[in-house]
Structure 1
């Protein structure tokens, strides 16, 4: 199934970025209107299978929600109203003929504006990248369409994905839906994708993660976020930032939904060398098997210095729940300090981003935001020798960590050390998340899972970190916690 895109800039038509379509009750047989926006992929798939709704009705419904909320939230940079409705109608026709493509057939999905879509410019959150008009869509987008999903629109992000706060002075910063009184950031760089799922503007959304770019927004917006193993999901057609660390990820409302996407998005991507000869995994095969007799690590107290007390309390409660489910919790020492991961990971990102994006920032007249420009330009002064030394140190740290975690199944650490800040309180010179770059630097996979609300009424969360290609195990642990708690993701007021 091909995708043709008629672009509708979010915020232009009806001031809210979606066409105000005629039927707002397209899911009339599936519960209250508010509940319809926050159903899981599995619940939506069941409604489609039973004939309680159609793909066209679903698509119209989410377009209307975008039209209602996007001016406030700034989650979408553009929607594809006419094209996605045609695609949805084609899905319905296939279903009417008695066929389906798979479990996600006919369900809408949002995509971060770093993934190519054939024939359309990819902005990557910048006005500088005007010359990227691809002939083919990104591998991940192709896989979504092959699975029968309906690409409803593209989401805002930090410029060139080089930032964790979720700000973007050039294109505008998405607003965290959990604070109705003031503009709090959503986390970056996949900010709009996290907001779209948290506020019920899409059931699921694609993002990328180079140093926490899925996990920080997931934790700050209170949804599930999966940072996949480097190489597991092909990155062909993704605007590069740092090839050593870049990985595809996504946001969902349940752990099983994340596993469904993982199964769909795997495959051989000839445009990504890191994906060569990577064996596919079945994320659902053992997801309900529980965690009895597992050994799960927790950080030593020194590595938890500076964590907000509320976040640490919720983190410890989650560990207690995992222990109650049969896991043994024991401390584990990271091979480097938190400051080392931030510095060394940042150096690799700057060096590689300058080689990938330097042409867009070197000129004084560059339209790139000065903060992002500075991060990329910093890579120009990093010598090849210094870069190689950092990569060698990374390999040594990975080997040491492998030894330390040899007797463990996973490691739990805070999803972030702070809650989402107001836009006016953001200081771009300090890290938004002490625990973002650790996972990329050590070449691991991780699930970000909500742990509840702090005294400020803002979401907090943990990361369940596993060895490379143990993504299914991370989901299994998160699923056990989700079942124990009767769900992890909740709905912010007003949506």
Structure 2
């Protein structure tokens, strides 16, 4: 529409800002109206002159509130973090803005990105748009990012993913969520959780949109990211580790998608992948690396009066990192390297791993707000499938693949080995329609047709 002149970036921005203002107030924590208007006006001039910067020129984008945006305070979902307005854009913000994207604001998130459920007692919890009555969780920690895209407030939202924080909310909200391999996208100027496991990521409506954003983040053209692929593909479906406590509807949707892929000509291999069990076992026996690194990052804050102003569940989980010894941390770090090496032979450029993104569809919000034990057990179940790929430095993309009996979306997680992002995105683009099975995940059209 921008290219044909059917809409200008400025008109698109004004419509976007109206939608944001009339939507769930817990989705956006800040709106960068003045900056957006300047960026949209500049993009409008470029289109009139026939020289758009890229496929992102004039396209609205919003940012999880742990990326620095010049002139705005980065709060990371917390009421205790206020280092003053950022002096400059985070590197990823700079790269996306340099492609002409219009920065509309900052998005809500779990405090300090430390939960897979998306609850935030400080700024409110964004409501999962597929709730159908009683509120359901959005998933986290990139909660506002997923809801903003699902509601059609913006077509692109940038989040982060340490143990599943892009892929989980993507699955819960019926959108696409792409987590690149570690180091593929820059994290300078993004408030950290785990310096070892953090990655940036993107939530979009389609795989093609994720490809465009990945290209911009890497300084490439979309054609460089998305080479032509029509060769034989093999998907390995693990028979272990990821299936305990999986909802029947989640399993059904995954199995139906696998059958469609097989009919499409994708080779399917069901087999045990012992490394997946070992990832979970290492964390169980020695502790989670993300918890240790979060504790070290926030050690002084946890020992200060600010600790009482933090989300108690975030604070409690961070404090568990104090129990992880240096010896245990060293064991976990070495195990990670060994397990990544152990999986290297599986990924040959044509082989990928597939299983449900999350074991359950988005649960009701109310019971989780009231029950700390239920919150903790649900959080671990929700994180389990995605944290495996994070620990092994897999790139991964969650694609909507159906609804449960309550009309709540489920997700199909497609993962590739470290550094196989190009091949993963090419495959995901090729088989997205097959995974979706012809179902519409357009919330606006679905609910207001």
Decide: shared fold, TM above 0.5: yes
What's the CA shift for 1:264?
0.5
- Between the aligned partners of 2:357 and 2:391, the Cα distance in structure 1 is 16
Aligned residues: 433
Partner of 1:453: 403
Change (3 A) 1:359 1:131: farther
What's the CA shift for 1:344?
7.2
Q: After TM superposition, where is structure 1 displaced by more than 4 Å over at least 4 residues in a row?
A: 404-408, 492-495
Deviations 1:407-456 (A, max 9, x none): 96100011100010111222221112320200110111000000011111
Change (3 A) 1:380 1:281: farther
Q: Is 1:348 the counterpart of 2:289 in the alignment?
A: yes
Say which structure is richer in helix: 2
- Between the aligned partners of 2:283 and 2:129, the Cα distance in structure 1 is 28
Query: Which residue of 153, 156, 170 maps to 1:218?
Result: 170
Partner of 1:160: 112
- Between the aligned partners of 1:61 and 1:345, the Cα distance in structure 2 is 51
Structure 2-normalised TM-score? 0.91
Tell me the SS of whatever aligns to 1:461: strand
Structure 1-normalised TM-score? 0.83
- Between the aligned partners of 2:42 and 2:282, the Cα distance in structure 1 is 48
The question of whether the paired residues in 1 share the 8 Å contact of 2:227 and 2:426 is answered with no
Change (3 A) 1:95 1:341: farther
Q: Is 1:56 the counterpart of 2:6 in the alignment?
A: no
- Between the aligned partners of 1:264 and 1:345, the Cα distance in structure 2 is 39
What's the CA shift for 1:134?
2.8
What's the CA shift for 1:303?
3.9
- Measured on the aligned residues, the alpha-carbon RMSD in Å equals 2.1
Show structure 2 runs of 5+ residues with no match. Answer: 369-373
Partner of 2:144: 192
- Between the aligned partners of 2:120 and 2:400, the Cα distance in structure 1 is 25
- Between the aligned partners of 2:357 and 2:30, the Cα distance in structure 1 is 29
Counterparts of residues 41-440 of structure 1 (less than 5 Å):
47-71=1-25, 74-131=26-83, 133-267=85-219, 282-286=224-228, 289-290=229-230, 292-300=231-239, 303-332=242-271, 333-337=273-277, 339-340=280-281, 343=284, 347-366=288-307, 367-405=309-347, 409-426=351-368, 427-430=374-377, 431=380, 432-440=382-390
- Between the aligned partners of 1:199 and 1:421, the Cα distance in structure 2 is 19
Show structure 1 runs of 5+ residues with no match. Answer: 1-46, 269-279
What's the CA shift for 1:255?
0.8
The question of whether the paired residues in 2 share the 8 Å contact of 1:342 and 1:434 is answered with no
What's the CA shift for 1:153?
1.1
